[in-house]
Structure 1
């Protein structure tokens, strides 16, 4: 029952915001690691309405390492009683998940991201959505 409920919540939430227009701008991302707060100046893209997606500019167009994982991932393999499916997918494809805040018009918005060694990043829920659904729909290049 928990598996089914988790799956429904993730899918509904992801589809609700999957195609919102994104805005890219220079701004700040704040994170806390080992009790130390770090604020970084970066360019990022986010959905204007709900602030529920966050991408580096190259990940916005899926031209970053986050979307290069060659294997097909199955949703059922990432659901469990603990942990976020998005964070689990992030680790599987070589990223580091983290909870961050990003600043828009002097207000901070809390979200998660999957950051990669080259500095690119993507919201981990979108990343999971991509591997569970969107990748299967995209034509081979």
Structure 2
């Protein structure tokens, strides 16, 4: 490594959803040009799906790199609570946050940040897959 050069953080994009809402949960994570999918992650709401996607993104980040990483998604509701900038007002949301924090404790993300839906590579991959036109290499969630 060159002196004075900061290594780039790995960027891990996440998205989750269900159809109908509530319904069957699916999640997507996008990292290093590969879209990872979880098709049958149980039943729940869109909020549950986003939490499960965030947790899957954390697990993939831990599997791919020992270095710093960012988790990036378009679910402000989940991101604000995961960052602790907004309170969890229900036991279900608090349970999701507690589970995430427990898994993140050994090696937390450098940042969890929000981006618009149109920039979320995991969300784009999920929509492409639903439409049958996925343009990225795909893999199941580990």
TM-score range (shorter-chain normalised) is under 0.3
The normalised TM-score by structure 2 is: 0.28
Name whichever structure is richer in strand by fraction: 1
The normalised TM-score by structure 1 is: 0.28
